[in-house]
Structure 1
Amino acid sequence: MKAKLSLLTVLFTFAIISTSCVSVQVKDNTVSNISSEVKNPKNIILLIGDGMGLSQVSTAIYYKNGKPNFERFNTIGLSKTSSASDLITDSAAGATVFSTGVKTYNGAIGVNKDTIPVPTIVEELSKRGLATGIVATSSIQHATPASFYAHVKSRRLYEDITSFAPNSGVNFFAGGGLKFFTKRKDGKDLLAEMKAKGYEVITDQLPKTISEKSELILLADDGMPKMSEGRGDFLPNATKLALEKLSKNEKGFFLMVEGSQIDWGGHNNDADYLIQELLDFDKTLGVALDFAKQNGETLVIVTADHETGGYTLASYGNDYNKIKPSFSTTGHSGTMVPVFAEGPGASNFNGIYESIEIYHKMMALFGK
């Protein structure tokens, strides 16, 4: 009788454990780096490799010294990227689906197909008291970062986009785009307005320590320099600084980080440009994953708005031991793009789905 009770106790205990935890994924006989407990994340880091398709991701395998950080993810899905207006999306519509969960027309920034503003994830979470941040190697007015805090009918309206920054609620901006604050047709000095709203404005170099204030870090007039032009570790270091700052908020945070110039290398059909930018992005993934591993309450998501360049890793003729990066277009392509996820809630990102689902999955995990 005692033996039966003991067995029942063991089975009951196991059942409780099974309902509170999902199976821990095992690879090479080691437990996954980040907790797989069934719970919602407190924080989400969304990293967007602009123009990054599967061939771009594969570049990290062949051109990086050491194991790519992409290989640290255990959950991988695929996103269908068409916009409401076109089979092939642009970056504005492609990012607006991540920020609002609405499919819209190419060129739209934070508005639906009728040009009506739609609340962004940054605005929704800021209202709840969460911290938010935007980091990019483009200007912060470029299509992807702009879609997270602005609402305009055209991505080319850079001055209009900038006017949303002072009241955006974003706690940490880092990238380029200084001229749209200071060299404006309307003569306004939006840097002064940012300061009046409580921002610390930094325009010389990435600071070593965080500020108690919200931060606007603008280190280029427009887009940041290429890696080949000496940008250095801006993207991983700015991401690290953002995480240090945003993680002080006890309610949690949302951070969007864009490797903007992977796309630009694709448009230029410049393989060297693309590869250097992709490897910089992979290094930045390491920063996010290391933070998440230590923090335990952070979900890391990596995806793209679309693929650019029709990029492939072809062979040199019949030499299958030599890779020749090649392109089929100077524009975008309609191929699906990968979605990587690691951390609490990662399993939600398995499968094949429309790009808008990334927004809805994130908001559901944040408790909406």
Structure 2
Amino acid sequence: MISCKLSPILLSAFVLISACKSKEATKEETPKKPKNVILLIGDGMGVSQVSSSFYFGNETSSFERFKQIGFIKTSSQSDLITDSAAGATAFSAGIKTYNGAIGMDQDTLAVPLITDKASENKVATGVISTSSVTHATPASFFAHVKRRSMEEAIAAQLPESPIDFFAGAGKDFFFNRKDSVDLSIAFTKNGFVVDTVALNTSQSLDVNKKYGFLLAPKSMPKMSEGRGDFLSEATRLGVNYLSKNKAGFFLMVEGSQIDWGGHANDSNYIVEEVKDFSKVIGEALDYAEKEGNTLVVVTADHETGGFTLASENGDYNKIKGSFSTGGHSATLIPVFAYGPGAESFQGIYENNAIYHKIIDLTQWGK
């Protein structure tokens, strides 16, 4: 047997080089502070809804591009199974609250939102949705009400909120109100330009103004009804505008109607909405990969429908959607992350940890 011994000088050099490499590796592993955050919420989107994007359609699923994946527990303060209001407030405020609460804690006290924290740090903010912007998820990022059904009260808070850009539906809650209040005056007073006709993606948005797009009375059409690329185009327009802000931006984008397909127990509805959402994720990832300073987080508030992909009539080469409920389920929800600090989203944790992870990484809480 041959043995080999290093001389003291060579051994010292080896130890020094190893130590330097170890320090370099540690330095590389330290997450860089993200300048921008894009939070994409697929309302009602569980693992089976995500899986459907791999089996239906000809496009490669954008979910396949993620390497950092975790799971969240979604129970609210009041119920084992959450609703969208409590679920979204967990993301927007970092607290567990009762079902139906928008930006309120369990004692019905208003709590600071992530958009408030961002704005205090001169960070631009936006919300985009395929529902009304007064619906539970988008509302949780700018409003404070005791019950999610108070959509006119929610609408009245948007003009004076920290939001710089919004797009979706719900113009009836702003301009065709039961109390006859015309919120266009409040929008103008607070520097908003509001369009109720089209996104006008060709226009150059002025960084010194705020912008809103309310393109349907109460909700955007389904994909099957011809909504087209609204969500992708709105996301692109929002990112182009918000990224002009030197301090960075926070943008929440909701694929609202995945949830509605689950409530309706309509597999085709779910599939088409998830495919659309996957396309939007691709837009966000393309931007993040190009810029290198943007954290993208994709998750859901809860799963809807108890949706699963089952064999069709026992044929294992054919898949159909099946359902166990017309409501929400308690299943764990996946979290996908890309960009600076993405590794922080691995593991299994409570849904309100999403807020705290973003705040810790961006340091917007300071």
Aligned pairs for 1:1-368 (under 5 A) are 10-11=17-18, 13-22=20-29, 38-208=31-201, 209-212=203-206, 213-367=209-363, 368=365
* Residue in 2 that maps onto 1:25: none
Distance in 1 of aligned mates of 2:205 and 2:118: 21
Displacement of 1:11: 3.8
Q: What amino acid maps onto 2:236 in structure 1?
A: K
For 1:307 and 1:9, locate their aligned partners in 2 and report how far apart those are by CA, in whole Å: 52
Task: Give the count of matched residue pairs.
Answer: 354
TM-score of the aligned structures, taking structure 2 as reference length? 0.94
CA distance in 2, matches of 1:210, 1:310: 43
Partners of 1:16 and 1:335 in 2: CA distance:
41
The aligned amino acid for 2:25 is S
In the TM superposition, residue 187 of structure 1 has moved relative to its aligned partner by: 1.5
Ranges of 4+ aligned residues in structure 1 off by more than 4 Å: 1-10
Q: Unpaired runs of 5+ in structure 2?
A: 1-7
**Counterpart contact for 1:200–1:211, Cα < 8 Å:** no
Question: SS at 1:77's partner residue?
Answer: strand
Displacement of 1:210 after TM fit? 3.7
Shift of 1:66: 3.2
2:284 partner letter: A
Counterpart code for 1:226: K
Decide whether the 8 Å contact of 1:210 with 1:241 is kept in 2.
Answer: no
Contact 1:78–1:353 (8 Å) recurs in 2:
yes
Q: CA deviation at 1:13?
A: 4.2
Which of these two proteins has the greater Rg computed from alpha carbons?
2
Q: Equivalents in 2 of 1:5, 1:80: separation in Å?
A: 50
CA distance in 2, matches of 1:237, 1:7: 55
Aligned-pair distance for 1:333?
A: 0.4
Preserved CA contact (<8 Å) 1:117 1:151? yes
1:188 deviates by 1.1
- Equivalents in 2 of 1:201, 1:59: separation in Å? 36
Q: Residue 21 of structure 1: SS of its match in structure 2?
A: helix
Distance 1:125 1:66 in 2: 35
Q: Deviations over 1:60-115 (max 9, x none)?
A: 00013132100100011010001111110000011000000111111100001111
Q: Secondary structure at the match of 1:163?
A: helix
Shift in Å, 1:12: 5.0
User: 1:15 offset after TM fit, Å?
Assistant: 3.2
Q: Secondary structure at the match of 1:281?
A: helix
**Which digits, 9 at most, give the CA deviation of each residue in 1:271-300, with x for residues without a partner?**
111110010000000000000000100010
Output one character per residue of 1:183-220: Cα deviation in whole Å (capped at 9) or x when no partner.
11222110221012111111111122342111011111
* Aligned-partner Cα distance in 2 for 1:75–1:230: 34
Q: Identity, % of aligned pairs?
A: 56
Indicate the SS of the match to 1:283.
Answer: helix
| RMSD, aligned α-carbons | 1.5
Structure 1: which 5+ runs fail to align? 23-36
Helix, strand or coil for the counterpart of 1:244? helix
Rounded to whole Å, the distance in 2 between the matches of 1:76 and 1:204 is 39
Contact preservation (8 Å) 1:210, 1:244: no
**Matches of 2:307 and 2:346, distance apart in 1:** 24
The alpha-carbon deviation at position 4 of structure 1 amounts to: 7.2
TM-score (norm 1): 0.93
Per-residue displacement from partner, 1:152-205 (whole Å, max 9, x unpaired)?
000000000011111111011000010111111222110221012111111111
Amino acid corresponding to residue 107 of structure 2 in structure 1: D
CA distance in 1, matches of 2:56, 2:199: 28
